[in-house]
Amino acid sequence: MNPGVQRVTEQIHPLTEHLDQQTPEAALACLFQAERELYEEHAWGPGLLDPAFLADLERLAAKIATVTADPEGRVIFAGAGTSGRLACLAATQWARNYGSQAGKVHGLLAGGWAAYYHAKEVVEDSVAVGQADIAPLLAGPGPVVYIGISCGLSAAYVAGQLALCRRRAHTTTVVLGFTPPDTAVDRTLPGLPPETGSMRALIAALATDADAFVLTPMIGAEPIAGSTRMKGGSATRILLDGLAFPGRIRARLAQYQVLLQQLQRQSLGEVVAWAGETLKRGGSLTYVAAGETAPMALLDASECPPTFGAQPFQVQAVCAGLAEQLPDFDGTDHDLAAYQRRARVEDGFVWMAGAAADPALAAWRKDLAADAIRSLPPFPTHLFDAGTLMGPLRDLWFKWQCNALSTLAFVAYGKVLGNRMVDLRISNQKLWHRGIGLIADLAVVSSQQAEDALHRALGQTAETPLDDKIRAAVRSERLITRAVLTARGWDPEAARAEIAREPRLVSLLTR
């Protein structure tokens, strides 16, 4: 398979092309088989265990160890969307797990900590916002390691920070993504220097810098096309943890491989089928988590509105102990009291490890109907030696489960056709262009015809500034499906009325 000029992160994975036609058990097997490509050599190239890539990781880990040993040294993880959320989570955990590095490891998320749950439109597309966010961390003396994460090598927020770091002395500049550098987005980004005015040009320049790393392991296409919260998110979590183990990175990465093999032995089919039925009857999937499982529950819930066009109530998280895990995030909307004010009788509850040990959650569970509760398999502590740092491994164990559960629930709900998201919420330039590709694919029209249909569905024109179109798109329900029907010849208002009559979008698109 030759990725050509299309980013790997946007490609259709042949393994999951008929995901919407499979049983829960078969669909789970496909998702976890796709995750195994993190490690395996496949049609896209070598994965995380490629010797050349591991050698680069070891050099970077040694650099981080040197910088954090300097009294004025600091390390910055940064990204937008899922990448930024994982950057902030990793930075928080580094400070907690390695006390000597407290105050030296920082996380940056486009939109700030408020965007950990509610995405902030347009900020991912801003070079200026990225540079304003990082400027205080670059002020003053001391060495810096900056790691900018952009799965598809597209985020202007990260590009702006990369450009700023290149100009600072004693700064190691790193970009991490999962598509070849020559497929990075090539459009001009206002605010970048003219000679490196696009992400692609900037990465090409970084590749020639003495104190820079361009890390682009080939983990393969996503099981849901473009949904980098899945494999891209997993690889990001693994690598940011692995960098804390200089000289032992391969062994640490192998622990995640063992964990995935264990997960494939679990029986999750019944829970997945139940989750789909819960959504179809109008209920919410509500993760119930406490302590170290809370950030992953919150992360998965946060990703469902942009990925599937989910309503805010459809996937939620009730979390205890969130303040200890994410001290800079205001989690009051996700505590038990807040949830109980908006509870619905149709809701289903996904109980995660640790929740039973919280007295308030345990008491509340006694009031819930037994058939409204399902539990996820607990973390297999027995697989690892007593001295193993378990927290990041536990994160990925529950990330994999939550991603599979919510993804396949929305497949059952009719939000995925084959392995394509049909109710993607457009909130940035990357998703605008992904939306055009989806419309062209599903309506069998050219990219120009697809964009014209998107304009008509939005009530906009080609002359409207792109940022304004994106702001309108964020507020627009069922936009991709309306645009597909418009591209097929429907009047936009007739398409809106038909969608109101048939909310299961896949049924409309397959008539």
Give the model confidence (pLDDT) of 98-131 as tens digits.
Answer: 766 778 999 999 999 999 998 776 799 999 999 9
| CATH number of the domain bearing residue 437 | 1.10.8.1080
Q: How many residues does the structure list for the chain? A: 511
On whether residue 2 sits in a domain, the answer given is: no
On whether residue 286 sits in a domain, the answer given is: yes
Q: In sequence order, what DSSP letters do the residues of 482-507 get, joined into one string?
A: HHHHHHTT--HHHHHHHHHH---HHH
Residue-wise pLDDT for 227-267, tens only, equals 999 999 999 999 999 999 999 999 999 999 999 999 999 99
Distances (CA, A) of 249 to 36, 61, 171, 205, 242: 18, 9, 23, 27, 5
pLDDT average, residue stretch 281-310: 95
In this structure, are 227 and 86 located in the same domain?
yes
pLDDT average, residue stretch 76-80: 98
In this structure, are 369 and 239 located in the same domain?
no
Based on the structure, what is the number of domains in the chain?
3
- Please say if the pLDDT value at position 1 is more than 90: no
Q: Which of 10-19, 99-108, 448-457 has the lowest mean pLDDT?
A: 99-108
In this structure, are 108 and 217 located in the same domain?
yes
- Please say if the pLDDT value at position 161 is more than 60: yes
In this structure, are 63 and 189 located in the same domain?
yes
Which pair of structure tokens corresponds to residue 375?
């539990």
| CATH number of the domain bearing residue 79 | 3.40.50.10490
- 421 touches 226 (CB < 8 A): yes
On whether residue 192 sits in a domain, the answer given is: yes
pLDDT average, residue stretch 59-69: 96
- Please say if the pLDDT value at position 222 is more than 90: yes
Which pair of structure tokens corresponds to residue 410?
């929305």
pLDDT average, residue stretch 271-282: 96
Distance, CA of 327 to CA of 434 (rounded, Å): 34
- Residue 98: the pLDDT is 78
On whether residue 389 sits in a domain, the answer given is: no
3-class secondary-structure state, position 126: coil
pLDDT band at 3 (very low <50, low <70, confident <90, very high): very low
- Residue 511: the pLDDT is 81
Distance, CA of 246 to CA of 250 (rounded, Å): 9
Q: What is the pTM of this model?
A: 0.95
Domain that residue 88 falls in: 51-257
Mean pLDDT for the chain? 95
- Please say if the pLDDT value at position 4 is more than 80: no
On whether residue 393 sits in a domain, the answer given is: no
- Please say if the pLDDT value at position 96 is more than 90: no
pLDDT average, residue stretch 351-360: 94
